[in-house]
Structure 1
Amino acid sequence: MNPFELKSLTSSFINNEFCKSHSDAITVLNKYSKEEIASVSLANESEIELALSSSESAFQIMKNWSAGDCYSHLEKFISLIKEHRNTLVDIIVAEAGKPRSYAQVELERTIQTLTFAMEESRRSHGEVVNLDFANGTGKTGVVKRFAKGPVIGISPFNFPLNLSVHKIGPAFAVGAPIILKPSPYTPLSALYIAKLSALAGYPPGALNVVVANNELSEKLVRDSRTKVFSFTGSPVVGWALKDKAHKKKVVLELGGNAAVIVDEDANLEEACAIIANGAYLYAGQICISTQRIFVHKKREKEFTQMLVAKIQTLKVGDPNEMNVTVGPIIDAVHVKRIKEWVDEAIAMGAKCEVGGKVLDEQKSLYAPTLLSSVNKEMKVYAQEVFGPVATISSFSQFSEAINLVNDSDFGLQCGVFTNDFSHVKMAHEKIEVGGIIINNVPGFRMDHMPYGGVKDSGLGREGVRYAMEDFTEARLLVY
């Protein structure tokens, strides 16, 4: 039985309780049926101040926690999330429009992310510095890491639970409170687990989930009481907020137009199946969805035919159906934008190999689309589509493929299908991204690995242990 009703998720969760409801509110819709799920009040200025002050108070408690305290609280938190996994999956499917099978994966990854945080909380990440020479003879240096202070996190709609705990877990593991602002499209997942954190015994202010307009959200970023700013979202918003974070430690994960290379010796059948899923799963609304495909010229025709055939088998529709891969776009405004970008590319000379149309405007469904004959002047190639659209181009030499990948403002992750180890090494040395995935799509991710990009794709790294380093500072003791 749930410890509280879903209908209670009508406001921000601050200081271990839901706030009063106000007239200014956002409506959370089922992204497929367009039915109202909830109406969530926007926080006012006094509630923003309460979030900041209670977070500061919680830090005075949590900074004194032992590693065992951090571990035991996370252990209880994880246990409660496991108990409510079915409800959380239902929320993700409804508010994010995520196919149910993929929502179940997100729930399991959420548990795994928090488990990594729990495990890392008991590991020492300090070091002993050898000073015993020259004027340091007889001295020992010990470095210990301490939480910087309260964290402000902003999470996106596409992984409303797992990307929230990618900020919550590392904060809790180092003994830091966090103020989380979820996407207005998908606030319910975060509000639900905020209540679970209180039931797990976290002090008031340890996890404040604030649903607020942009102006008041900026106050959280600007305020000197928060010491770390962790953002996942669009490059335009992320870089603008970085400038307002002043002296805070800033971590940005900003997405991109992820590329995959299909080398001459690649297993085409295997690559085709993996790329089709990597480009169109969850309607391409993933930061590392495959967007640009570069295939060796000798294999281009064969691969394109195979890929089109595979795309045509993808099920589009109701995310509640277990065999659906491509569900709804998050909002009608983005359906319109995707359509405009594809239409513009075709008008500029791109060829539509498959798709290229809205399937159901009312339910925000856009057909899985593959475009060829593209160039860098087209938005579908140069910018992040964040929709079920991929482009395909060819190359003659592997070095040329690398140059094509690098000719971008972004650099998050890249996939390379090859059996030539010299090309594996070349990719690692030359491709300007945060991660190179061999014989898989750029969308591969495990939640403990360092994850982040270069150029406009971001700053710093997520992945629990790496985030913990960003949330702490080193303090040296010499004796």
Structure 2
Amino acid sequence: MHSFLKNTSFIGNQWVQGNSNDILRVKNKYNQSLLAEISYLNADQLDSAFDVAQIAFEQMKTWDAGKRSELLFKLVEALKEQQESFAQLISAEAGKPIEYAKAEVNRCITTLEISAQEAKRIQGEVVPMNFDQGVGKNAFTQRFAVGIVGCISPFNFPLNLALHKIGPALALGNSVVLKPSPYTPLTALAFASLIQKVGYPAGAVNVVICENDVAEKILTEPRVKVFSFTGSPQVGWELKNKALKKKVILELGGNAAVIVDHSADIEDVCEKLIPGAFLYSGQICISTQRCYVDSNVYDEFVEKLLEAVEEIESGNPANKKVINGPIIDESHVERIHEWVQEAVAQGAKVLTGGHILDEDHNIYAPTILTDTSPDMKVVSEEIFGPVLILDKTDYFDDAIELVNDSKYGLQAGVFTNQISQMKYAFNKLEVGAVLMNNVPGFRIDHMPYGGVKDSGLGREGVKYTIEEMSEPKLLIF
């Protein structure tokens, strides 16, 4: 794997050593061994990334759709050749269970394939004109690339969430300046070598490793026309305020909830809820954090769920059976534990877990809490850890209200076998997507994905991102 690692930024198809005095140390998240040291770029070096990205855009915006599509398909083939290496790297630097890391790389291939397909399907609309002052006229819109897309991607899907920005941008002919998470920059840098390999012009995609104060130039640089951020709501909304006149796409957090109706198949719910809440230690924006169960089936549900939790494998993410590996950083382990302890002090009851399982490897025990109240942090905030809140409700209406009693609204799951409940939930739930008889953690890469309230702005999913990253121009004749 080590020959695969790149430890410098990637600007204009060149590997660029940072001129800052500070160094980013990237560690294996399970055993804390050093994977790479990367010197940070200074502000002038980031400016040079904008310069080459602008030159690349001027070239790529003239390409026909076939050429844009062809190069994306070449990226697909290049990624397929190195699938295993990418999965191993994601597992090491993100602490992601290896089978889940392999699944991520498969999804990355899909994301790029969809981008290559959508490059040939970018379309406008015919605008009805033939009435009043428009009699005898025709009009249509066409979507155009806009320029540089500035991106910040998170640690938890270090390749696929970067590609949800890069793929649509390249499908249009936009260029990209990407700042990956400091926890997981190596995967994005490894992908940059594929950009160089398949023949993109210098500056088409740039991966910049810089500190936050330098990275803020992405927000103020006028040549950056779109800003796309995936990460925490606190940071996302603050950055939006600094993005001035840019188009902004925000994919932020959630505290996703599941409702279990009395008509649900309890075994099916438990089977889906275990990975839904505990896969990758709950470090997924749409991981199930809250679960509201009809009081008629609550006792049976708790019994079956606790049995299922006993089967969860925790430990080294390189082990194929492990689903609950390390939390990304020691500070987050401590935060998760503090929130759990605070909830218990306020009256919550621990059904299982509630402690740090392995301090040396930053592993938190799969935890289920009940008897919670809406103002506890474990309920109201995004815990981003292997913690599930489980409470009973007497009425379906009450469950809907509890799900909506949140500043977030990304996705929600509803387990029911009553079509009336399905329709009612779909109309009432304040979320970006409602999943019937499934957990909120379901996403495929072409669907419109995003949330309401503090969970975001705009939609991802390749076709929908292309719309966000382009401008429609109207022709009247």
How does the TM-score come out when normalised to structure 1? 0.98
SS at match of 1:139: coil
Contact 2:326-2:361 within 8 A present in 1 as well = yes
Deviation at 1:124, TM superposition (A): 3.5
Give the aligned partner of residue 371 of structure 2: 373
Contact 2:18-2:42 within 8 A present in 1 as well = no
Give the aligned partner of residue 291 of structure 1: 289
Deviation at 1:21, TM superposition (A): 4.7
1:217 is the counterpart of 2:211: no
Deviation at 1:136, TM superposition (A): 1.5
Cα-to-partner distance string for 1:343-394 (whole Å, 9 max, x where unaligned): 1111111000000111111100100000000011211011000000010011
Identity among equivalent positions (%) equals 50
Cα-to-partner distance string for 1:82-113 (whole Å, 9 max, x where unaligned): 11111101110000000000001000000001
Contact 1:97-1:319 within 8 A present in 2 as well = yes
- Point out where structure 2 has 5 or more consecutive residues left out of the alignment: none
Q: Distance in 1 between matches of 2:133 and 2:450?
A: 41
Cα-to-partner distance string for 1:412-466 (whole Å, 9 max, x where unaligned): 0000000010111111110000000000000000110000000010111000000
1:19 is the counterpart of 2:19: no
Give the aligned partner of residue 180 of structure 1: 178
Give the aligned partner of residue 250 of structure 1: 248
Deviation at 1:27, TM superposition (A): 0.6
Cα-to-partner distance string for 1:284-322 (whole Å, 9 max, x where unaligned): 000000000000011111101111111111000010011
Within the candidate set 190, 195, 198, 2:196 is matched to 198
Cα-to-partner distance string for 1:28-53 (whole Å, 9 max, x where unaligned): 10000110011111111121011111
Of the structure 1 ranges 23-32 and 238-247, higher mean CA displacement relative to structure 2 is found in 23-32
Q: Distance in 2 between matches of 1:29 and 1:296?
A: 44
Deviation at 1:134, TM superposition (A): 2.5
Output the amino acid matched with 2:300. Answer: E
Q: Distance in 1 between matches of 2:274 and 2:351?
A: 14
Contact 1:450-1:461 within 8 A present in 2 as well = yes
SS at match of 2:297: helix
Q: Distance in 2 between matches of 1:171 and 1:186?
A: 22
Q: Distance in 2 between matches of 1:37 and 1:419?
A: 49
SS at match of 1:257: coil
Within the candidate set 434, 449, 452, 2:450 is matched to 452
Q: Distance in 1 between matches of 2:36 and 2:4?
A: 9
Q: Distance in 1 between matches of 2:79 and 2:418?
A: 44
Deviation at 1:142, TM superposition (A): 1.4
Output the amino acid matched with 1:124. Answer: I
Q: Distance in 2 between matches of 1:310 and 1:222?
A: 50
Q: Distance in 2 between matches of 1:273 and 1:133?
A: 58
Within the candidate set 299, 319, 325, 2:317 is matched to 319
SS at match of 2:238: helix
Give the aligned partner of residue 104 of structure 1: 102
Deviation at 1:122, TM superposition (A): 0.4
Deviation at 1:477, TM superposition (A): 0.3
Which segments of structure 1 move beyond 6 Å, counting only runs of 4 or more?
Answer: none
Matches within 5 A, 1:16-415: 16-22=13-19, 23-415=21-413
Q: Distance in 1 between matches of 2:86 and 2:117?
A: 23
Contact 1:17-1:195 within 8 A present in 2 as well = no
Q: Distance in 1 between matches of 2:27 and 2:120?
A: 40
Contact 1:197-1:207 within 8 A present in 2 as well = yes
Cα-to-partner distance string for 1:148-176 (whole Å, 9 max, x where unaligned): 21100110000000000000000001010
Q: Distance in 2 between matches of 1:356 and 1:212?
A: 37
Contact 1:153-1:230 within 8 A present in 2 as well = yes
Give the aligned partner of residue 462 of structure 2: 464
Output the amino acid matched with 1:392. Answer: L
Contact 1:11-1:43 within 8 A present in 2 as well = no
Deviation at 1:220, TM superposition (A): 1.1
SS at match of 1:298: coil
Contact 2:229-2:251 within 8 A present in 1 as well = yes
Q: Distance in 1 between matches of 2:286 and 2:121?
A: 30
Q: Distance in 2 between matches of 1:6 and 1:108?
A: 19
Deviation at 1:130, TM superposition (A): 2.1
Contact 1:10-1:21 within 8 A present in 2 as well = no
Q: Distance in 1 between matches of 2:322 and 2:154?
A: 22
Q: Distance in 1 between matches of 2:255 and 2:122?
A: 37
Q: Distance in 1 between matches of 2:39 and 2:464?
A: 34
Output the amino acid matched with 2:209. Answer: V
Q: Distance in 2 between matches of 1:208 and 1:384?
A: 31
SS at match of 1:362: helix
SS at match of 1:91: helix
Within the candidate set 406, 426, 429, 2:427 is matched to 429
Output the amino acid matched with 1:321. Answer: N
Length, aligned pairs only? 476
Output the amino acid matched with 1:237. Answer: V
Output the amino acid matched with 1:18. Answer: W
Q: Distance in 2 between matches of 1:429 and 1:280?
A: 28
- Point out where structure 1 has 5 or more consecutive residues left out of the alignment: none
Deviation at 1:193, TM superposition (A): 0.7
SS at match of 2:224: coil
CA RMSD in angstroms comes to 1.0
Output the amino acid matched with 1:11. Answer: T
